[in-house]
Structure 1
């Protein structure tokens, strides 16, 4: 980027560039050089706003976790409408077709990033844990409305759906799973709870 050109929100500009690199090239390709090249900024811009690259990555991950609030709101709004299977299929498809799978791989790939995230996120992988909680809360609301059995273990179902969904989407070289494959997985995990 030419000297003197102002970037309105430098952090979001860098976060968006990181997301593009992750989605296009994978976690191994996300380096400070690749990030600043993608963002069109000098390396000094990164270090002016973050103490180091791992500090940037930790804030990037937490920023993407916070963006899940809109997904959680949409899922809460779906309580009592449509089918539970369709609502979860749409949510899981949107989640895993976003940067979530690449963020998980990034966290797994970088020891220093995991250490930094432990300061603010003591257990689990931030994106997946937040998604499982979101789904568990949705299922609890559906259970409260009587659309799931009173004894449905919604927290366990939420974590199971996230784990199975991650496995469906984790193959970066293969194509994305069809919506019908996601729906079949959701139906299988929910089992008798929705029959």
Structure 2
């Protein structure tokens, strides 16, 4: 097997293991030993591919941010279809039902990780910032399609939806919010800018 392929497979294996540890045990449990144990490999494997554990975590977070592109692309494909509220409620549920909420806690939890991320990501928490930008772009397309008021501030609305969505989903240990609760939140945030059908 070519070396490049093996490295890519190991990185993905380690990133997937980090997802599982984060989702099941939270950011305080995410250690190099926990990741390699979950991945079923020796601890030295992680250190052969990353300078240190914070370098691993920074690459992990940025990889998960780039995976948001698929969800945002799906959202953009829904412009003009179904309802704006349903489209956004589905997108927010998919986003916050993933590892995103745990990544926010991880970035908040680790000072060195935040410092590393600042080298390539100048502001905000990467997962939330990227999602807010994507939702604002979706809302701009819906505004062009006439389903959002022409004077709607889509950047503020995108950030508000992400912030409020994060608050709804932030408790990893409790029951996730119902689909109706997410729809109600989106409808409330967008209430003043939705065009009447």
Q: TM-score range by the shorter chain?
A: over 0.9
- Provide the residue aligned with 2:119 in structure 1: 119
Deviation track 1:92-136 (CA, whole Å, cap 9, x = no partner) reads 000000000000000000000000000000000000000000100
TM-score between both structures, scaled by the size of structure 2:
0.94
Query: Structure 2: how far apart are the matches of 1:8 and 1:58?
Result: 16
Alignment of 1:19-58 (within 5 A): 19-58=19-58
- 2:7 touches 2:49 (CA, 8 Å); kept in 1? no
The superposition leaves residues 40-76 of structure 1 with CA deviations (integer Å, 9 ceiling, x where unpaired) of: 1111100000000000000000000000111111011
The CA deviation at 1:193 is 1.1
Task: Give the SS at the match of 1:9.
Answer: helix
> Which residue of structure 1 aligns with residue 18 of structure 2?
18
| TM-aligned CA deviation for residue 186 of structure 1 | 0.2
TM-fit CA distance, 1:178? 0.5
Counterpart in the other structure of 1:149: 149
The equivalences for 1:37-186 within 5 A come to 37-186=37-186
Partner of 1:192: 192
8 Å contact from structure 2 (residues 136, 157) kept in 1: yes
Unaligned runs of 5+ in 2: 1-5
In structure 1, distance between residues paired with 2:94 and 2:172: 16
Consecutive unaligned residues of structure 1, counting only runs of 5 or more, are 1-5
* Displaced runs of 4 or more, over 3 A: none
Offset from partner CA, 1:22-43 (integer Å, 9 cap, x none): 0011111101110110001111
How many residues are treated as equivalent by the alignment? 190
Q: Please give the secondary structure, in 2, of the residue aligned with 1:149.
A: coil
Q: Give 1:7 deviation, angstroms.
A: 7.9
